[in-house]
Amino acid sequence: MTDQDIVFLKELVEAPSPSGFEQPAQRIVRRELETLSHGLRTDVMGNVIARIDGRSASRPRVMMAGHCDEIGLMVKYIDENGFIFFAPIGGVDAHLVPGQRVNIHGRKGPVLGVVGKKPIHMTDPKERETVCPLKNQFIDIGCSGREDAADLVAVGDPGTFAVGMERLQGDRVISRAFDDKMGAFIVTRVAKQLAQRGGAPGDFHAVSTVQEEVGLRGATTSTYGIDPDVGIVVEVGHATDFPDVDKREIGQIEIGKGPVISRGPNINPALFALLVETAEAENIPFQVMAEARGTGTDANVMQLSRGGVATALIRIPLRYMHTPVEMLCLADLDATIDLLTAAVCRIDDAEMFIPV
């Protein structure tokens, strides 16, 4: 990974993009795709779609998607003392919100606030053992009344945890929103590699999708619009290499051990085999995750679009999903970019994906 890649990844994960408010992240994605694509557009949902022309129009059309939305908060109500009550956007864990710094993205720019919490001294033992529901939590932006607060923050404004991307030891990095902006990052980098190689056999559509965290909504419309033969979704996947996780349930998945190729009914078996063969041929480490039903990812709606799409799901192992400290290894991103670029170059016949 080059320094330029790291700057781009950091910029992308730090840009606020809760579901429905993805424009700041999409502007960055568009900038990256502008020079290398043969057609770049943003659809009415906000999906950014870049086309890299293939060498033949009769070869399979491939769509690759990573979602650029992140979980977040939304302002619901400002009380007379200027305290802000909020709802979650997507799967926000109520356990870890109190005591956090948050940014509310108001019309004048980000407003820093904190999620207040009654001190432990004032909490009775029973309260300490229960989670405070999100609807009872509140943000304090330092204003003393509703009017002051309403000058900066409006009902419906989105919020994010006020944390950036940081490096720990080795190539381990943390951020609040690798899910799934690292997917959008990988998709743009695969597009770049393909453009440099003069395109894949067929047309390639790189898509930064929106509203995944609130019901796979951007992938639904963008897949329909693009009408691909083959679709590949790049997502995060649960690593199971930290305390208190049951490997018997998810399998053995470790960060730094390469991309995770999902297998199951949501995945076209020939496309799965193609990814495994490519990884083996290119000496790229990989892991396999068994997913016994439709996945909770964009791959689910992608596969079911129109008359069906040969779909694959590549996951990057991630610790602590949906927390402000999601952790991954940069080497896994590089390996995924290499694997996907090589795999797309091998897709030259749509018939090979008909399971017979």
Rounded to the nearest whole angstrom, what is the least distance from the CB of residue 204 to Zn ion in the complex? Answer: 22
Q: Of 14, 22, 32, 212, which one is the catalytic site residue?
A: 212
Closest residue to Zn ion, judged by C-beta, is 180
DSSP string, 163-217: ---EE-STTEEEES-HHHHHHHHHHHHHHHHHHHTT--SS-EEEEEE---TTTSH
Rounded to the nearest whole angstrom, what is the least distance from the CB of residue 200 to Zn ion in the complex? Answer: 25
Residue 326 within binding range of Zn ion, rule CB under 5 A = no
In sequence order, what are the residues at sequence separation of 6 or more whose Cβ sits closer than 8 angstroms to the Cβ of residue 284? 258, 259, 278, 335, 338, 339, 342
| Residue range at the interface with Zn ion (CB under 5 A); choices 43-51, 172-180, 255-263, 343-351 | 172-180
- Sheet of strand 172-175, all strands in order from the earlier edge strand to the far edge: 166-167, 172-175, 326-329
| Residue range at the interface with Zn ion (CB under 5 A); choices 79-87, 173-181, 277-285, 286-294 | 173-181
Q: With respect to Zn ion, which residue has the nearer C-beta, 179 or 334?
A: 179
Q: With respect to Zn ion, which residue has the nearer C-beta, 75 or 253?
A: 253
Q: With respect to Zn ion, which residue has the nearer C-beta, 61 or 315?
A: 315
| Residue range at the interface with Zn ion (CB under 5 A); choices 126-134, 174-182, 249-257, 341-349 | 174-182
Q: With respect to Zn ion, which residue has the nearer C-beta, 195 or 267?
A: 267
Rounded to the nearest whole angstrom, what is the least distance from the CB of residue 185 to Zn ion in the complex? Answer: 13
Rounded to the nearest whole angstrom, what is the least distance from the CB of residue 186 to Zn ion in the complex? Answer: 13
Q: With respect to Zn ion, which residue has the nearer C-beta, 22 or 179?
A: 179
| Residue range at the interface with Zn ion (CB under 5 A); choices 139-147, 171-179, 267-275, 342-350 | 171-179
Give the side-chain half-sphere CA count within 13 A for 118: 10
Residue 22 within binding range of Zn ion, rule CB under 5 A = no
Q: With respect to Zn ion, which residue has the nearer C-beta, 180 or 229?
A: 180
Q: How far from the centroid of its chain's Cα atoms is residue 153's Cα?
A: 26
Q: How far apart are CA 115 and CA 280, in angstroms?
A: 48
In sequence order, what are the residues at sequence separation of 6 or more whose Cβ sits closer than 8 angstroms to the Cβ of residue 12? 25, 28, 29, 68, 181, 184, 185
- Residue 244 near residue 308 (C-beta atoms within 8 A): no
Q: How far apart are CA 341 and CA 3, in angstroms?
A: 20
- Sheet of strand 310-318, all strands in order from the earlier edge strand to the far edge: 39-42, 48-52, 204-209, 62-67, 230-238, 310-318, 260-263, 287-290
| Residue range at the interface with Zn ion (CB under 5 A); choices 79-87, 133-141, 178-186, 314-322 | 178-186
48-52 and 83-89: which strand pairing?
A: unpaired
Residue 179 within binding range of Zn ion, rule CB under 5 A = yes
Asked if 212 is an active-site residue, the reply is yes
Helix (H) or strand (E) holding 105: strand 101-106
Residue 70 within binding range of Zn ion, rule CB under 5 A = no
Site string for Zn ion, 46-65 (x = CB under 5 A): --------------------
Residue 180 within binding range of Zn ion, rule CB under 5 A = yes
Binding site for Zn ion (CB under 5 A): 179-180
Known catalytic residues? 212
